[in-house]
């Protein structure tokens, strides 16, 4: 059985839905439903579709900018936890990486402001619709804000890393960004347990996010170390771990899931994953 299904294309990019999302969609619809009965469920379904439509547009923002910078977009995959644009590689230059990372939150911010602006105008038409559009607007603002937290692997973490890369080099920049991400994950963890002090329960979603951020940040740092070791073995870097902008190593971001062997990154301009031996 296939694990994901194509539901169409946008700008030539296939949009795929993971089977788990299809299973979860009725739950999302129920949680969105403003009332009982068929009408409530219909609005719930509309809200759930609007939520994942917003995620698609966020990923489309990343994708179109990445494509303009020379990456090939394999598809946009929707999962119950969100979406991911699958690219054959990240744009190489720090500036390009930064613009690619910022494009998603920029789309969400624009959608959020649009939703909140348009909602009052819909009140005369249909009150439930107006409330839903406002709700989707604030969800988009949250999507923008949350993804901009400077914590790898989130968009803000990529911006942070890309900003540091010209000064520190890719590896040291990744290591620093990963350490910052771990501190932020720790704060998320504390925040998750905070209600316990006041007799409440643990915030499990937040705890999950903290765990996810900590794990992925650690993996990114390890990968950067690995790249540095390979560079030194090839007689490059000399432990300084600073490489010319042209040869900045491409480390696949977590939203690149290479399920298919054909999605492996093609050789870069310098002839491979690592700069050629002189
Ligand atoms: Zn994003």
Q: What is the mean pLDDT of the chain?
A: 78
Cα 61 to ligand 1 centroid, rounded to whole Å: 8
Is 271 among the domain residues?
Answer: no
pLDDT at site 92: 66
Is 19 among the domain residues?
Answer: yes
Q: DSSP character for 154?
A: S
The reported pTM is 0.74
Is 164 among the domain residues?
Answer: yes
For residue range 246-276, list pLDDT tens digits in order.
233 333 333 333 332 222 333 333 333 333 3
Is 269 among the domain residues?
Answer: no
Cα 29 to ligand 1 centroid, rounded to whole Å: 23
- Per the structure, the complete domain to which residue 51 belongs is given by 4-263
Is 273 among the domain residues?
Answer: no
Q: DSSP character for 239?
A: T
Contact status, residue 74 vs residue 88, Cβ threshold 8 Å: yes
Cα 104 to ligand 1 centroid, rounded to whole Å: 5
Cα 58 to ligand 1 centroid, rounded to whole Å: 6
Q: Select the more confidently predicted residue: 237 or 104.
A: 104
Domains contained in the chain, number: 1
Is 223 among the domain residues?
Answer: yes
Between the alpha carbon of residue 250 and those of residues 45, 48, 169, 203, 227, the distances in Å are 39, 35, 13, 36, 10
Is 120 among the domain residues?
Answer: yes
Is 62 among the domain residues?
Answer: yes
For residue range 172-229, list pLDDT tens digits in order.
888 899 999 999 999 989 988 888 888 888 887 778 878 888 888 888 888 777 777 7
Shortest CA distance to 167 belongs to which of 230, 237, 245?
A: 245
Cα 62 to ligand 1 centroid, rounded to whole Å: 7
For residue range 76-128, list pLDDT tens digits in order.
988 776 788 888 777 768 899 899 999 999 999 999 999 999 999 998 998 88
Q: Point out the residues that are catalytic.
A: 59
What is the rounded radius of gyration, in angstroms, for the C-alpha atoms of the chain?
A: 21
Between the alpha carbon of residue 145 and those of residues 107, 189, 220, 259, the distances in Å are 12, 19, 22, 29
């Amino acid at each position: 059985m296939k694990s994901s299904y194509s539901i169409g294309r946008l700008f030539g990019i296939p949009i795929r839905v993971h089977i788990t999302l299809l299973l979860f969609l009725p739950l999302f619809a129920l949680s969105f439903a403003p009332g009982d009965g068929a009408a409530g469920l219909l609005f719930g379904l509309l809200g759930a579709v609007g939520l994942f439509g917003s995620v698609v547009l966020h990923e489309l923002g990343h994708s179109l900018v990445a494509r303009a910078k020379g990456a090939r977009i394999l598809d946009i995959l929707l999962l119950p936890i969100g979406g991911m644009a699958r690219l054959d590689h990240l744009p190489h230059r720090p500036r390009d990486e930064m613009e690619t990372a910022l494009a998603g939150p920029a789309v969400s911010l624009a959608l959020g402001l649009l939703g909140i602006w348009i909602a009052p105008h819909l009140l005369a038409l249909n009150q439930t619709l107006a409330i839903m559009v406002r709700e989707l607007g604030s969800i988009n603002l949250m999507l923008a804000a949350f993804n901009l937290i400077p914590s790898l692997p989130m968009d803000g973490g990529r911006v942070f890393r890309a900003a540091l890369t010209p000064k520190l080099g890719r590896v040291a920049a990744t290591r620093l960004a990963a350490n910052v991400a771990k501190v932020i994950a720790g704060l998320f963890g504390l925040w998750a347990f905070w209600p316990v002090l006041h007799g409440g329960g643990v915030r499990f979603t937040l705890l999950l996010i903290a765990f996810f951020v900590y794990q992925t940040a650690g993996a990114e740092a390890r990968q950067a170390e690995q790249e540095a070791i390979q560079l030194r073995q090839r007689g490059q870097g000399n432990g300084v771990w600073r490489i010319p902008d042209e040869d900045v190593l491409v480390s696949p971001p977590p939203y690149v899931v290479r399920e298919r062997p054909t999605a492996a990154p093609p050789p870069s301009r310098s002839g491979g994953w690592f700069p050629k031996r002189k």
